[in-house]
Structure 1
Amino acid sequence: MKRIVVVIALFCFFVSNAQIHDPVRWATSVEKVSDNLYDLVIKATIEDSWHLYAQQVPKNGPIPTTFTFEDAKELYKLVEDTKEGTGTTVDDPVFDMRIKYFGHKAIFKQRVELLKPSGVITAIVEFMVCNDTQCLPPKEVDLSFTISSQVSGAVVPAEKKKEKLEDKNIQLADREQVIGKGKKKSSTQLDKGNTKNTSKHTSDNSFLGIFFIAFLSGFAALLTPCVFPMIPMTVSFFTKQSKNKAQGIKNAILYGVSIVVIYVLLGSAVTAIFGADALNALATNVWFNIIFFLLLVVFAVSFLGAFEIMLPNSWANKVDSQANKGGVIGIFFMALALAIVSFSCTGPIVGTLLVEAASSGGLAPIIGMLGFSLAIALPFALFAAFPGWLNSLPKSGGWLNTVKVVLGFLELALAFKFLSQADLVLQLHWLEREVFLAIWIAIFAALTMYLFGKIQLPHDSPLTHISVGRLSLGLLTFTFTLYMVPGLWGAPLNLISAFPPPQHYSESPYGVGYTKVGEGAISVHKEIPEGAHLMEPHDILAFDDYDKGVAYAKKISKPIMIDFTGWACVNCRKMEQNVWPKPEVLDILKNKVVLISLYVDDKRPLPKDQVIASKLRPGKKLKYIGQKWSELQTIKYKANSQPYYVLMDHDENNLIDPVAYTPDVDEYLNWLNSGVSNFDK
């Protein structure tokens, strides 16, 4: 009978904890290096769609993976720092920094020098995991290594599976006691933040984006003065060489395939020379970001007409002589001749694509070159196969140079993205948000003046009138320039949020323009009560202490909103930046509820009188403020992902089922209104 009761209790526990995510499993092993040197190997197995952060992350970034080894100087001593695998480095859109993480698995190695023949080494790993929609609070796991001269190197699960049923039952009985005032009413609302997008799916989307951008870049290159005039010349060659229409189509297809092969080989060569992972590492390095900046500036100045980047004429002559041989080899060398002759126009675009693709690493350079070459090859192949279509092509002229100059301005603007990344990593504050935006405004204003004919560059033809296309493009760039101007005073500029430095990296964070965005109502709070603060940039009164927030809500007779959040929570920032500023939502947050924001990754130590034993990890104590709030969320609300929002009354009963990440403004507003209405009944 006892067994049945225990099984039922466990079943209820796991069902009620359906939102408790535990996506990482740790295992340890030992590898012998020499007589007294050993590698302590730590392997993390990570579920699909989740990722584990590296040991080093930039300042103000997410929680890094940290290993703390037991101080046992009589047994061993550490040799160097803990090593880790290559991982993946990406641009985080919320933290505005490059962050390294691991997906699927991660391996760490710590070399030790053994001072005794054998022994047990213990350690603790603290880590944070996230997926595309949520981050879990920091967690600690005990690690153990049995080490001796006869070490076998077997893998041992680090998270020991001897959690007793009695411990689980104790947790079931005590899970409402973290705060002391917690009630038993809670929700089993499914976590809307937990969308199962796998890492592979994310990677596929990234490659698709690279292919699409490269494809558009190929069409842009096609409209430059080095490439466009070669279309009729190439078609004329195939028309003369082909004995019949079928052979003409065959030769045209071979020509197009040859162009694709040449550029894909270039992308493959770059990947092979530097390595797929090395490309990613180069793109995240400060000095290489500076080199990329200088390189793109050179490309831009070339496009603007200061000089031309050309390959040696001897290369073109040698390739041209091979093209006259005819057959498949001759067609291939014709395609190679096109690539060499047009290099002064295509080179800067190809170079920029390879630089951008390097940021993604892996097969990105190959994917980029495939998209670029397809865009160039298709028109050449189609016009060579169907020469009659040539009559529909516009005539060459000054408009081709205009395309080239426009690309030069765009290259110049893009260059400052790389300089900004270097400045952010070094925290030099030389290229803060206002300076970056001022540079972009100047570049696009100059481009607008050029399109309107107010600026002339060296290779421009005399401009007697402005075409409709040129006028339309000028109006577009003028509109974009005006759009950026409010950013100098703090406007968020969501359309280009991935390019300029973040809001806080500026001379005047949350300036006048930004603090007024989404201002739905004037706050009723005349003064800031004890334990509260105003959340920038929306001036929402918020508490970071649970008890003080509840007491204040009772005093002013308003419902309580608990915001389980985190400093390193990506979607928390998205909600605060994109949903909370909406006037109707902001009015409720400022005037109709008392907000209590509990940061589950707050690393400040708890006061000594608040240090208590953990209910979730028997034998451990809650050392940090964030651990206290994380345990409250896990035990009382059976969820451990952020953001997580709870509306409750003064008896701490839920007014409505809690919700997680809810980017839909109307859905989130309905949830707020329903909860507040239930309180007023």
Structure 2
Amino acid sequence: MGNTVKSFFLFLILFCRAVVEAQVADPIKWTTETEKISDTEYLLIAKAALDTGWHLYAQQVPDEGPVPTSFIYDDSSGNFRIVGNTQEEEGKIIYDPVFEMEVKYFENSAIFKQKIEVTKELGDILALVEYMVCDDTRCLPPEEEELTFNLTEETIAETSKGSVRAVDSTSPEAEDLGSESRGLITIFFLSFLGGFAALLTPCVFPMIPMTVSFFTKQSKTRASGIKNALLYGLFIIVIYVVLGSVVTAIFGADSLNALSTNVVFNLIFFALLIFFACSFLGAFELVLPSSWATKIDSQTDRGGLIGIFFMALALAIVSFSCTGPIVGTLLVEAASKGGLAPIIGMLGFSLAIALPFALFASFPGWLNSLPKSGGWLNTVKVVLGFLELAFAFKFLSNADLVLQLHLLERETFLAIWIANFGALAFYLFGKITLPHDSPLPHISVGRLGLGLFVLAFVVYMIPGLWGAPLQWISGFPPPTQYSESPYGVGNSKGVAGTSIELPDHAELGPLDLITFKDYEAGMAYAKKVNKPVMLDFTGYACVNCRKMEERVWPEPQIQQILREELVLISLYIDDKKELPKAAQYVSETTGKKIRTIGNKWSDFQIREYRANAQPYYVLVDLEGNKLGEPKAYDPDVESYLAWLQNGVEYYKQGYNTL
């Protein structure tokens, strides 16, 4: 009897587990509330409830990361005005194993608040939220949810003015602080290096002996000179930290973070870096109005703390033509991280500038060990200009990737970098001169060594035009599949050395596999060649999809089956291209509006296979019947191979279903 009961409960558990796993994952529920601040101001509150083990991403995430949560409020009627940005809870900043990066997300629940100012009486406000949810092993495709905020009196609760930001009480505060501190340390270190780079420019470096000599001569005692120099360095730090604080106050702690993944922001940043690079290369001088320097310089004779402060301010203004591009780049990059990053960034930058003045004032004898000012300072400036020029195209590439315009594909990007660093190598070898260069009868050993290093880097990049992975600069160029040619410039041969002829509506996918991105076209071709089909539900931003394609599919036996015995149909659920208006519809399964190609394939996956995670592989026959159970993410090569072999064998034996 006991064994019978035990068997019954075991069966019941397995049955329930199978039922649960067969359901479509829908781990998030959205609800809305409104709160009244004043007669004309309200808070629109969107609440997300998450199932255990799932998390929702914040509104700002790193590049090449998950899809951020975003809100669009329908204010087309003109009855209300959006005030500020949508605020969110503190959340968690931890290492995400799916995307392999530090990212901010929410567990259990999340609250988003948007302040509005009502101009006319209204009842409802409509909004659209786009989001992505993941667990530790998989992500669901990006979803859109229509939200309705009711502004009738009986649904509105009074709230104290200014209670816009909520706090996530479930977030371990210590863990958040630890993650944030690691990010701030990185910002500080990079800004510190940027400060040292600025120190070695012709606007700053010559100021060291001049300033130190001033303090040692004007001070009655050595101790007094050291004190004044330390105060001078401290005021330099204060000036730049105040600048970082102003940026944070004006733009907000998180607003520039949202811009960092925005196409317009990337284009503006591209233009800024080009502008800064031209200044460094000598096209023009980037200077503040001379009247500013004159007025500040007149205050330096006042003596005491005020005089020292104005000396530090004079340094910041006079050196702006060299420090401006570096400060501008660091500020925008740091501000894109949100929070205190701009302040910490300016602290690191100014500390690197201030330290030499304080140290050399304390130990004047060290001045004898400094190299003399000369043409090498302008060389540092020009090298920085070439680096700014190279980095500028990364931001242009980001915009192109988001829009999928294919205007700056991998080969084009690499060609630009090869030309840029090739020109830098010729400059270092003295074959190219720029406007502010001094006569160069010979080059130093250090300059020769740097030139050889840059030339070696150029040679290293050249094979990338023919498909080399270029791991040194991984993350800067577009991915290998975002290329003009799958085999590199001027090469149309396959892996085996034979030309690949593509069927109609097909293209080359991972590993040069013939791939269809349209279900109907792929099925038609499968019937023509009489082969079973593998439906590959995937995504452009799907990390686990790339892992399968790069670590499992290349295995010889698996690749042979995919290449010779199956027709591959890859359906991208995050394809943002809009369907024609006539082809848009409301899903019978989810009730959501299907607007894009990605929405269409996601709805197809849910409707036909009751699943919506990627990657998701389904083997089907020519009528669309399954040839076995579908396969999710599985890095086990043997398991995946057995699954493929079984499906192909079922097809050959004439089985349509299990």
* TM-score, structure 1 normalization: 0.64
Q: Is 1:396 the counterpart of 2:400 in the alignment? A: no
Q: Is 1:29 the counterpart of 2:28 in the alignment? A: no
Shift of 1:401: 1.5
| Amino acid aligned to 2:32 | T
Aligned to 1:86: 85
Pick closer, same or farther for the CA change 1:349–1:9 going to 2, 3 Å: same
How many angstroms apart in 1 are the aligned matches of 2:251 and 2:18?
Answer: 48
Aligned to 2:421: 444
How many angstroms apart in 2 are the aligned matches of 1:292 and 1:144?
Answer: 36
Shift of 1:26: 1.4
Asked whether the equivalents of residues 293 and 415 of structure 1 are also in contact (C-alpha less than 8 Å), the reply is: yes
1:572 aligned residue (545, 555, 564): 545
How many angstroms apart in 1 are the aligned matches of 2:618 and 2:429?
Answer: 55
Q: Is 1:643 the counterpart of 2:619 in the alignment? A: no
Pick closer, same or farther for the CA change 1:580–1:390 going to 2, 3 Å: farther
Shift of 1:354: 2.4
Q: Secondary structure at the match of 1:50?
A: strand
Asked whether the equivalents of residues 535 and 617 of structure 2 are also in contact (C-alpha less than 8 Å), the reply is: yes
- Could you say which structure has the greater relative contact order, defined with CA pairs below 8 angstroms and 6 or more residues apart? 1
Q: Is 1:472 the counterpart of 2:449 in the alignment? A: yes
How many angstroms apart in 1 are the aligned matches of 2:249 and 2:84?
Answer: 20
Pick closer, same or farther for the CA change 1:79–1:349 going to 2, 3 Å: closer
Aligned to 1:50: 56
Pick closer, same or farther for the CA change 1:20–1:470 going to 2, 3 Å: farther
Q: Secondary structure at the match of 2:245?
A: helix
| Amino acid aligned to 1:311 | L
Deviations 1:50-80 (A, max 9, x none): 31679xxx9xx969979999xxxxxxx9878
Aligned to 1:311: 288
Shift of 1:454: 0.6
Aligned to 2:345: 368
How many angstroms apart in 2 are the aligned matches of 1:147 and 1:313?
Answer: 55
2:204 aligned residue (227, 234, 254): 227
Q: Is 1:210 the counterpart of 2:214 in the alignment? A: no
Deviations 1:137-183 (A, max 9, x none): 3568797888866434599xxxxxxxxxxxxxxxxxxxxxxxxxxxx
2:331 aligned residue (354, 371, 375): 354
Asked whether the equivalents of residues 260 and 377 of structure 1 are also in contact (C-alpha less than 8 Å), the reply is: yes
Deviations 1:64-108 (A, max 9, x none): 979999xxxxxxx9878997983699xxxxxxxxxx998643357
Pick closer, same or farther for the CA change 1:300–1:132 going to 2, 3 Å: farther
Shift of 1:411: 2.1
Asked whether the equivalents of residues 267 and 354 of structure 1 are also in contact (C-alpha less than 8 Å), the reply is: yes
Shift of 1:406: 0.7
Aligned to 2:237: 260
Shift of 1:632: 7.5
Q: Is 1:540 the counterpart of 2:546 in the alignment? A: no
Aligned to 1:329: 306
Q: Is 1:275 the counterpart of 2:272 in the alignment? A: no
Pick closer, same or farther for the CA change 1:274–1:146 going to 2, 3 Å: closer
Q: Secondary structure at the match of 1:538?
A: helix
Q: Secondary structure at the match of 1:453?
A: coil
Aligned to 2:486: 510
| Amino acid aligned to 1:237 | F
Equivalent residues in 2 for 1:68-79, closer than 5 Å: none
How many angstroms apart in 2 are the aligned matches of 1:418 and 1:453?
Answer: 30
Q: Secondary structure at the match of 2:31?
A: strand
Pick closer, same or farther for the CA change 1:581–1:335 going to 2, 3 Å: farther
1:410 aligned residue (387, 393, 397): 387
Shift of 1:267: 1.6
Pick closer, same or farther for the CA change 1:380–1:86 going to 2, 3 Å: same
Asked whether the equivalents of residues 126 and 148 of structure 2 are also in contact (C-alpha less than 8 Å), the reply is: yes
Equivalent residues in 2 for 1:334-349, closer than 5 Å: 334-349=311-326
Q: Secondary structure at the match of 1:350?
A: helix
How many angstroms apart in 2 are the aligned matches of 1:426 and 1:659?
Answer: 28
Q: Secondary structure at the match of 2:385?
A: helix
Query: How many pairs align?
Result: 582
How many angstroms apart in 2 are the aligned matches of 1:269 and 1:64?
Answer: 27
| Amino acid aligned to 1:86 | N
How many angstroms apart in 1 are the aligned matches of 2:81 and 2:11?
Answer: 42
Q: Is 1:129 the counterpart of 2:127 in the alignment? A: no
Deviations 1:523-568 (A, max 9, x none): 999998x9x966514233668979x99xx9xx9999x988553355
Asked whether the equivalents of residues 531 and 565 of structure 2 are also in contact (C-alpha less than 8 Å), the reply is: no
Shift of 1:402: 0.9
RMSD value over aligned CA atoms?
Answer: 5.9
How many angstroms apart in 2 are the aligned matches of 1:202 and 1:514?
Answer: 46
Q: Is 1:457 the counterpart of 2:434 in the alignment? A: yes
* TM-score, structure 2 normalization: 0.66
Pick closer, same or farther for the CA change 1:522–1:628 going to 2, 3 Å: farther
| Amino acid aligned to 2:545 | C
Shift of 1:470: 1.5
Pick closer, same or farther for the CA change 1:418–1:523 going to 2, 3 Å: closer
Shift of 1:453: 1.0
Pick closer, same or farther for the CA change 1:498–1:231 going to 2, 3 Å: same
Pick closer, same or farther for the CA change 1:288–1:526 going to 2, 3 Å: closer
Q: Which 10-residue stretch deviates more, 390-399 or 243-252? A: 243-252
Asked whether the equivalents of residues 568 and 601 of structure 1 are also in contact (C-alpha less than 8 Å), the reply is: yes
How many angstroms apart in 2 are the aligned matches of 1:373 and 1:255?
Answer: 12
Pick closer, same or farther for the CA change 1:229–1:34 going to 2, 3 Å: closer
Equivalent residues in 2 for 1:124-203, closer than 5 Å: 128-130=132-134, 134-137=138-141, 150-152=154-156
Asked whether the equivalents of residues 56 and 131 of structure 2 are also in contact (C-alpha less than 8 Å), the reply is: no
Shift of 1:221: 0.9
How many angstroms apart in 2 are the aligned matches of 1:68 and 1:351?
Answer: 32
| Amino acid aligned to 1:353 | L
Q: Secondary structure at the match of 1:311?
A: coil
How many angstroms apart in 1 are the aligned matches of 2:535 and 2:175?
Answer: 30
Asked whether the equivalents of residues 411 and 489 of structure 2 are also in contact (C-alpha less than 8 Å), the reply is: no
Asked whether the equivalents of residues 51 and 131 of structure 1 are also in contact (C-alpha less than 8 Å), the reply is: no
Aligned to 2:363: 386
| Amino acid aligned to 2:549 | E
Q: Is 1:629 the counterpart of 2:601 in the alignment? A: no
Shift of 1:265: 0.9
| Amino acid aligned to 1:378 | L
Aligned to 1:158: none
How many angstroms apart in 1 are the aligned matches of 2:35 and 2:506?
Answer: 52
Q: Secondary structure at the match of 2:30?
A: strand
Shift of 1:338: 2.1
Q: Which 10-residue stretch deviates more, 281-290 or 222-231? A: 281-290
- 5+ unaligned residues in a row in structure 2: which ranges? 89-102, 160-173, 581-585, 592-598, 649-658
Shift of 1:449: 0.5
Asked whether the equivalents of residues 420 and 501 of structure 1 are also in contact (C-alpha less than 8 Å), the reply is: yes
Asked whether the equivalents of residues 486 and 512 of structure 2 are also in contact (C-alpha less than 8 Å), the reply is: no
Asked whether the equivalents of residues 67 and 142 of structure 2 are also in contact (C-alpha less than 8 Å), the reply is: no
Shift of 1:400: 1.4
Deviations 1:180-218 (A, max 9, x none): xxxxxxxxxxxxxxxxx9988776555444333322211
